[in-house]
Amino acid sequence: MSTGTPPILTRFVRCIPRVAVATAAALALSACGGGTDKAESTPSGEASTTSAAFPVTVEHKYGSTTIEAEPKKVVTLGLSDQDAVLALGVKPVGAVDWFKEQPYGKWPWTKDKWGSTKPEIVGERDEYNIEKIVALKPDLVIAQYSGMKKEQYDTLSKFTKVVAQPKGLPDYGASWQVMTRQIGKSLGKEAETEKLISGIDARFEAVRDKHPEFAEKTLAVADSFEAGKYSGFTKTDPKAIFFSELGFKLKPEIDTLAKPGWNVAELSAEKLNVLDVDRLVWVTSSTEANDRIKAEPLYKKLKVHQEKRDLFVPYQDPDIGAAFSFNTVLSIPYAIDEVEPLIAAIK
Protein backbone atom coordinates (compact mmCIF):
# COMPACT_ATOMS: atom_id res chain seq x y z
CA MET A 1 0.00 0.00 0.00
CA SER A 2 1.14 3.51 -0.72
CA THR A 3 1.91 5.67 2.26
CA GLY A 4 2.19 8.94 0.37
CA THR A 5 0.03 12.03 0.52
CA PRO A 6 -3.58 11.22 -0.38
CA PRO A 7 -4.48 12.32 -3.91
CA ILE A 8 -7.14 15.02 -4.06
CA LEU A 9 -9.97 13.32 -5.85
CA THR A 10 -13.09 14.26 -7.70
CA ARG A 11 -15.18 15.53 -4.83
CA PHE A 12 -12.52 18.13 -4.01
CA VAL A 13 -12.43 19.35 -7.57
CA ARG A 14 -15.77 21.01 -6.96
CA CYS A 15 -14.37 22.98 -4.03
CA ILE A 16 -11.07 24.14 -5.53
CA PRO A 17 -11.14 27.83 -6.43
CA ARG A 18 -10.67 28.41 -10.14
CA VAL A 19 -7.92 30.53 -11.53
CA ALA A 20 -8.66 34.13 -12.25
CA VAL A 21 -8.39 33.52 -15.96
CA ALA A 22 -9.14 37.03 -17.17
CA THR A 23 -5.75 38.58 -16.39
CA ALA A 24 -3.74 35.54 -17.46
CA ALA A 25 -5.80 35.21 -20.62
CA ALA A 26 -5.32 38.85 -21.55
CA LEU A 27 -1.57 38.48 -21.24
CA ALA A 28 -1.54 35.18 -23.08
CA LEU A 29 -3.73 36.34 -25.93
CA SER A 30 -1.71 39.49 -26.29
CA ALA A 31 1.49 37.49 -26.44
CA CYS A 32 0.02 35.27 -29.14
CA GLY A 33 -1.64 37.94 -31.23
CA GLY A 34 -5.12 37.50 -29.82
CA GLY A 35 -5.23 33.81 -30.62
CA THR A 36 -5.51 34.30 -34.36
CA ASP A 37 -2.26 32.55 -35.26
CA LYS A 38 -2.67 29.33 -37.19
CA ALA A 39 -1.73 26.23 -35.26
CA GLU A 40 1.36 24.43 -36.41
CA SER A 41 0.71 21.11 -38.10
CA THR A 42 3.06 19.03 -36.01
CA PRO A 43 1.76 15.44 -35.93
CA SER A 44 0.88 14.25 -32.43
CA GLY A 45 -0.15 10.70 -33.26
CA GLU A 46 -0.44 8.16 -36.02
CA ALA A 47 -0.63 9.05 -39.69
CA SER A 48 -3.95 10.62 -40.59
CA THR A 49 -6.64 8.40 -42.04
CA THR A 50 -9.54 10.52 -40.86
CA SER A 51 -9.35 13.75 -42.90
CA ALA A 52 -12.49 12.79 -44.82
CA ALA A 53 -14.49 12.86 -41.57
CA PHE A 54 -14.27 16.63 -41.34
CA PRO A 55 -15.86 19.04 -40.78
CA VAL A 56 -17.58 17.72 -37.65
CA THR A 57 -19.82 19.56 -35.20
CA VAL A 58 -19.79 18.47 -31.57
CA GLU A 59 -22.47 19.61 -29.12
CA HIS A 60 -21.43 20.23 -25.53
CA LYS A 61 -22.34 22.07 -22.32
CA TYR A 62 -21.63 25.53 -23.74
CA GLY A 63 -23.08 25.12 -27.23
CA SER A 64 -21.47 23.43 -30.20
CA THR A 65 -18.06 23.48 -31.85
CA THR A 66 -17.35 22.86 -35.51
CA ILE A 67 -13.94 21.40 -36.27
CA GLU A 68 -13.09 21.96 -39.92
CA ALA A 69 -9.98 19.81 -40.25
CA GLU A 70 -8.24 16.95 -38.48
CA PRO A 71 -6.59 18.27 -35.28
CA LYS A 72 -2.84 17.81 -35.21
CA LYS A 73 -2.12 19.38 -31.81
CA VAL A 74 -4.52 18.49 -29.03
CA VAL A 75 -4.62 19.67 -25.42
CA THR A 76 -6.74 17.72 -22.91
CA LEU A 77 -8.12 19.47 -19.84
CA GLY A 78 -10.31 16.72 -18.42
CA LEU A 79 -8.75 14.75 -15.58
CA SER A 80 -8.69 11.53 -17.61
CA ASP A 81 -9.34 12.76 -21.16
CA GLN A 82 -5.82 11.99 -22.31
CA ASP A 83 -6.53 8.25 -22.10
CA ALA A 84 -9.21 8.19 -24.79
CA VAL A 85 -7.14 10.52 -26.99
CA LEU A 86 -4.14 8.22 -26.62
CA ALA A 87 -6.28 5.17 -27.33
CA LEU A 88 -7.26 6.78 -30.64
CA GLY A 89 -3.64 7.23 -31.68
CA VAL A 90 -3.10 10.88 -30.77
CA LYS A 91 -0.59 12.06 -28.18
CA PRO A 92 -1.80 15.25 -26.50
CA VAL A 93 0.74 18.06 -26.48
CA GLY A 94 -0.72 19.31 -23.18
CA ALA A 95 -2.61 17.74 -20.28
CA VAL A 96 -3.61 18.50 -16.69
CA ASP A 97 -2.40 16.74 -13.56
CA TRP A 98 -4.86 14.95 -11.26
CA PHE A 99 -3.08 12.68 -8.79
CA LYS A 100 -0.11 15.00 -8.36
CA GLU A 101 1.69 12.61 -10.69
CA GLN A 102 2.94 13.48 -14.14
CA PRO A 103 0.19 12.12 -16.42
CA TYR A 104 2.64 10.17 -18.56
CA GLY A 105 4.95 7.25 -17.86
CA LYS A 106 3.40 6.55 -14.45
CA TRP A 107 0.19 4.66 -15.14
CA PRO A 108 0.71 1.13 -16.44
CA TRP A 109 -2.17 1.40 -18.89
CA THR A 110 -0.65 4.41 -20.71
CA LYS A 111 3.12 3.94 -20.43
CA ASP A 112 3.46 2.36 -23.85
CA LYS A 113 1.09 4.87 -25.43
CA TRP A 114 3.14 7.87 -24.31
CA GLY A 115 6.51 6.32 -25.03
CA SER A 116 9.20 8.98 -24.75
CA THR A 117 6.73 11.80 -25.48
CA LYS A 118 6.14 14.20 -22.60
CA PRO A 119 3.15 16.55 -22.76
CA GLU A 120 3.27 20.00 -21.27
CA ILE A 121 1.47 20.13 -17.90
CA VAL A 122 -1.02 22.96 -18.38
CA GLY A 123 -2.87 22.85 -15.10
CA GLU A 124 -3.84 20.93 -12.00
CA ARG A 125 -7.36 19.57 -12.10
CA ASP A 126 -9.66 22.50 -13.04
CA GLU A 127 -7.05 25.23 -12.62
CA TYR A 128 -5.68 25.85 -16.10
CA ASN A 129 -2.57 27.77 -17.04
CA ILE A 130 -3.96 29.78 -19.94
CA GLU A 131 -0.55 31.11 -21.00
CA LYS A 132 0.87 27.60 -21.35
CA ILE A 133 -2.13 26.43 -23.36
CA VAL A 134 -1.90 29.40 -25.70
CA ALA A 135 1.82 28.89 -26.17
CA LEU A 136 1.21 25.33 -27.41
CA LYS A 137 -1.02 26.67 -30.22
CA PRO A 138 -3.38 23.68 -30.16
CA ASP A 139 -5.87 22.96 -32.94
CA LEU A 140 -8.25 21.55 -30.37
CA VAL A 141 -8.83 21.64 -26.60
CA ILE A 142 -10.87 18.80 -25.10
CA ALA A 143 -12.46 19.04 -21.64
CA GLN A 144 -14.76 16.10 -20.90
CA TYR A 145 -14.12 14.81 -17.37
CA SER A 146 -13.78 18.35 -16.09
CA GLY A 147 -15.45 21.22 -14.29
CA MET A 148 -14.57 23.82 -16.92
CA LYS A 149 -16.44 27.08 -16.30
CA LYS A 150 -18.06 29.24 -18.95
CA GLU A 151 -15.45 31.97 -18.52
CA GLN A 152 -12.68 29.45 -19.08
CA TYR A 153 -14.44 28.11 -22.17
CA ASP A 154 -14.98 31.61 -23.55
CA THR A 155 -11.35 32.55 -22.96
CA LEU A 156 -9.95 29.45 -24.63
CA SER A 157 -12.41 29.70 -27.53
CA LYS A 158 -10.86 33.02 -28.52
CA PHE A 159 -7.83 31.26 -29.94
CA THR A 160 -8.75 27.62 -30.60
CA LYS A 161 -11.55 25.10 -30.90
CA VAL A 162 -12.86 23.85 -27.56
CA VAL A 163 -15.10 20.84 -26.89
CA ALA A 164 -16.42 21.22 -23.35
CA GLN A 165 -18.22 18.77 -21.08
CA PRO A 166 -21.10 16.66 -22.46
CA LYS A 167 -24.38 18.48 -22.81
CA GLY A 168 -27.20 17.87 -20.33
CA LEU A 169 -25.12 16.08 -17.72
CA PRO A 170 -23.56 17.29 -14.46
CA ASP A 171 -19.83 17.97 -14.40
CA TYR A 172 -18.02 14.67 -13.78
CA GLY A 173 -21.34 12.88 -14.31
CA ALA A 174 -20.95 11.53 -17.86
CA SER A 175 -20.22 7.87 -18.45
CA TRP A 176 -16.94 6.80 -20.00
CA GLN A 177 -18.87 5.80 -23.13
CA VAL A 178 -20.35 9.28 -23.58
CA MET A 179 -17.01 11.01 -23.04
CA THR A 180 -15.17 8.61 -25.34
CA ARG A 181 -17.69 9.22 -28.11
CA GLN A 182 -17.36 12.98 -27.70
CA ILE A 183 -13.60 12.67 -28.00
CA GLY A 184 -13.78 10.26 -30.92
CA LYS A 185 -16.11 12.54 -32.86
CA SER A 186 -13.87 15.53 -32.17
CA LEU A 187 -10.91 13.64 -33.61
CA GLY A 188 -12.84 12.35 -36.62
CA LYS A 189 -12.46 8.77 -35.44
CA GLU A 190 -16.03 7.66 -34.72
CA ALA A 191 -15.74 4.18 -36.25
CA GLU A 192 -12.54 3.45 -34.34
CA THR A 193 -14.17 4.78 -31.18
CA GLU A 194 -17.11 2.40 -31.47
CA LYS A 195 -14.69 -0.53 -31.80
CA LEU A 196 -12.92 0.55 -28.61
CA ILE A 197 -16.18 0.88 -26.71
CA SER A 198 -17.44 -2.49 -27.97
CA GLY A 199 -14.21 -4.12 -26.83
CA ILE A 200 -14.55 -2.74 -23.31
CA ASP A 201 -18.25 -3.63 -23.16
CA ALA A 202 -17.27 -7.19 -24.08
CA ARG A 203 -14.75 -7.28 -21.22
CA PHE A 204 -17.45 -6.29 -18.73
CA GLU A 205 -19.90 -8.77 -20.22
CA ALA A 206 -17.36 -11.57 -19.88
CA VAL A 207 -16.98 -10.82 -16.16
CA ARG A 208 -20.75 -10.75 -15.66
CA ASP A 209 -21.10 -14.08 -17.46
CA LYS A 210 -18.32 -15.60 -15.37
CA HIS A 211 -19.75 -14.26 -12.10
CA PRO A 212 -23.57 -14.22 -12.28
CA GLU A 213 -23.54 -14.06 -8.47
CA PHE A 214 -22.39 -10.44 -8.68
CA ALA A 215 -25.87 -9.43 -9.86
CA GLU A 216 -27.32 -10.63 -6.56
CA LYS A 217 -25.00 -8.47 -4.47
CA THR A 218 -25.26 -4.83 -3.42
CA LEU A 219 -21.94 -2.99 -3.43
CA ALA A 220 -20.66 0.37 -2.25
CA VAL A 221 -17.37 2.17 -2.87
CA ALA A 222 -16.02 4.40 -0.13
CA ASP A 223 -12.97 6.29 1.06
CA SER A 224 -11.81 8.24 4.10
CA PHE A 225 -9.12 10.91 4.27
CA GLU A 226 -9.40 11.79 7.94
CA ALA A 227 -10.71 10.32 11.16
CA GLY A 228 -14.46 10.47 11.59
CA LYS A 229 -15.14 11.48 7.99
CA TYR A 230 -16.14 9.01 5.32
CA SER A 231 -17.42 9.19 1.77
CA GLY A 232 -19.66 6.89 -0.21
CA PHE A 233 -19.56 7.33 -3.99
CA THR A 234 -22.79 7.88 -5.88
CA LYS A 235 -23.95 6.12 -9.04
CA THR A 236 -22.49 8.93 -11.20
CA ASP A 237 -18.93 8.48 -9.93
CA PRO A 238 -16.58 6.48 -12.20
CA LYS A 239 -15.66 4.13 -9.35
CA ALA A 240 -19.28 3.19 -8.72
CA ILE A 241 -19.96 2.97 -12.46
CA PHE A 242 -17.08 0.51 -12.83
CA PHE A 243 -18.49 -1.89 -10.25
CA SER A 244 -22.00 -1.50 -11.63
CA GLU A 245 -20.71 -2.60 -15.02
CA LEU A 246 -19.08 -5.61 -13.37
CA GLY A 247 -22.64 -6.59 -12.48
CA PHE A 248 -23.13 -5.37 -8.91
CA LYS A 249 -26.15 -3.45 -7.66
CA LEU A 250 -25.44 -0.05 -6.10
CA LYS A 251 -27.08 1.26 -2.96
CA PRO A 252 -29.52 4.11 -3.77
CA GLU A 253 -29.39 5.52 -0.23
CA ILE A 254 -25.91 6.84 -0.98
CA ASP A 255 -27.33 8.97 -3.81
CA THR A 256 -30.08 10.40 -1.61
CA LEU A 257 -27.53 11.43 1.04
CA ALA A 258 -25.27 13.26 -1.44
CA LYS A 259 -25.53 17.01 -1.88
CA PRO A 260 -27.03 18.12 -5.22
CA GLY A 261 -24.41 17.91 -7.95
CA TRP A 262 -21.94 15.96 -5.80
CA ASN A 263 -20.64 12.51 -6.65
CA VAL A 264 -20.10 11.54 -3.01
CA ALA A 265 -22.21 11.37 0.12
CA GLU A 266 -20.24 12.64 3.09
CA LEU A 267 -20.80 10.40 6.09
CA SER A 268 -20.03 10.68 9.78
CA ALA A 269 -19.10 7.60 11.77
CA GLU A 270 -22.71 7.47 12.96
CA LYS A 271 -23.82 7.09 9.32
CA LEU A 272 -21.49 4.20 8.48
CA ASN A 273 -24.43 1.79 8.59
CA VAL A 274 -25.26 3.07 5.09
CA LEU A 275 -22.18 1.14 3.97
CA ASP A 276 -23.34 -2.16 5.46
CA VAL A 277 -23.78 -3.84 2.08
CA ASP A 278 -22.95 -7.23 0.57
CA ARG A 279 -19.60 -5.99 -0.73
CA LEU A 280 -17.81 -2.85 0.43
CA VAL A 281 -14.78 -1.58 -1.48
CA TRP A 282 -12.56 0.92 0.30
CA VAL A 283 -10.16 2.77 -1.98
CA THR A 284 -7.54 4.40 0.18
CA SER A 285 -4.12 6.02 0.10
CA SER A 286 -2.25 4.30 2.92
CA THR A 287 -2.16 1.33 5.24
CA GLU A 288 -2.60 3.86 8.06
CA ALA A 289 -5.97 4.87 6.60
CA ASN A 290 -7.00 1.22 6.39
CA ASP A 291 -6.05 0.60 10.00
CA ARG A 292 -7.87 3.75 11.12
CA ILE A 293 -11.08 2.71 9.37
CA LYS A 294 -10.93 -0.81 10.79
CA ALA A 295 -10.36 0.59 14.29
CA GLU A 296 -13.49 2.78 14.21
CA PRO A 297 -15.84 1.32 16.88
CA LEU A 298 -18.98 1.91 14.82
CA TYR A 299 -17.37 0.34 11.78
CA LYS A 300 -16.51 -2.76 13.78
CA LYS A 301 -20.24 -3.28 14.33
CA LEU A 302 -21.05 -3.57 10.63
CA LYS A 303 -21.73 -7.08 9.36
CA VAL A 304 -19.85 -6.36 6.15
CA HIS A 305 -16.72 -5.96 8.26
CA GLN A 306 -17.42 -8.71 10.78
CA GLU A 307 -18.01 -11.20 7.95
CA LYS A 308 -14.92 -10.03 6.03
CA ARG A 309 -16.87 -8.84 3.01
CA ASP A 310 -14.96 -5.55 2.85
CA LEU A 311 -12.07 -5.03 0.47
CA PHE A 312 -9.29 -2.45 0.84
CA VAL A 313 -7.46 -1.43 -2.33
CA PRO A 314 -4.91 1.36 -2.85
CA TYR A 315 -5.19 4.25 -5.26
CA GLN A 316 -1.55 3.75 -6.18
CA ASP A 317 1.30 1.24 -5.94
CA PRO A 318 -0.32 -0.88 -7.29
CA ASP A 319 -2.48 1.58 -9.21
CA ILE A 320 -5.77 -0.26 -8.81
CA GLY A 321 -7.90 2.57 -7.38
CA ALA A 322 -6.46 5.03 -9.87
CA ALA A 323 -7.46 2.69 -12.70
CA PHE A 324 -11.14 2.56 -11.79
CA SER A 325 -11.09 6.23 -10.79
CA PHE A 326 -9.97 7.04 -14.34
CA ASN A 327 -12.40 4.43 -15.71
CA THR A 328 -11.35 4.94 -19.32
CA VAL A 329 -10.99 2.75 -22.38
CA LEU A 330 -7.33 2.31 -21.46
CA SER A 331 -7.57 1.91 -17.68
CA ILE A 332 -10.61 -0.37 -17.50
CA PRO A 333 -8.86 -3.54 -18.76
CA TYR A 334 -6.13 -3.07 -16.15
CA ALA A 335 -8.75 -2.43 -13.45
CA ILE A 336 -10.70 -5.54 -14.39
CA ASP A 337 -7.60 -7.72 -14.33
CA GLU A 338 -6.68 -6.44 -10.86
CA VAL A 339 -10.12 -6.23 -9.26
CA GLU A 340 -11.92 -9.34 -10.52
CA PRO A 341 -9.88 -11.90 -8.54
CA LEU A 342 -9.96 -9.73 -5.40
CA ILE A 343 -13.71 -9.19 -5.37
CA ALA A 344 -14.50 -12.76 -6.50
CA ALA A 345 -12.49 -14.16 -3.59
CA ILE A 346 -14.91 -12.65 -1.06
CA LYS A 347 -17.47 -15.23 0.06
The answer to whether residue 262 scores a pLDDT higher than 50 is yes
The pLDDT tens digits for 193-212 are 999 999 999 999 999 999 99
Q: Give the model's confidence band at 23: pLDDT under 50 very low, under 70 low, under 90 confident, else very high.
A: very low
CB 144, CB 179: distance < 8 Å: yes
The answer to whether residue 320 scores a pLDDT higher than 50 is yes
Q: What is the DSSP string of 230-273?
A: EEEE-TTSHHHHHHHHTTPEE-HHHHHHSPTT-SEEEEEGGGGG
The answer to whether residue 91 scores a pLDDT higher than 50 is yes
CB 197, CB 206: distance < 8 Å: no
Report pTM.
0.85
DSSP code of residue 162:
E
Q: Which of 57, 79, 75 is closest to 66 using CA atoms?
A: 57
pLDDT value, residue 14? 34
pLDDT value, residue 335? 98
The answer to whether residue 18 scores a pLDDT higher than 90 is no
The answer to whether residue 307 scores a pLDDT higher than 70 is yes
Least confident of 42-51, 59-68, 227-236, 245-254: 42-51
User: Looking at per-residue confidence, does 236 or 22 come out higher?
Assistant: 236
Q: Share the mean pLDDT of the chain.
A: 87
What average pLDDT does this structure show over 342-347?
A: 96
pLDDT value, residue 25? 35
Q: Which of 215, 238, 61, 227 is closest to 153 using CA atoms?
A: 61
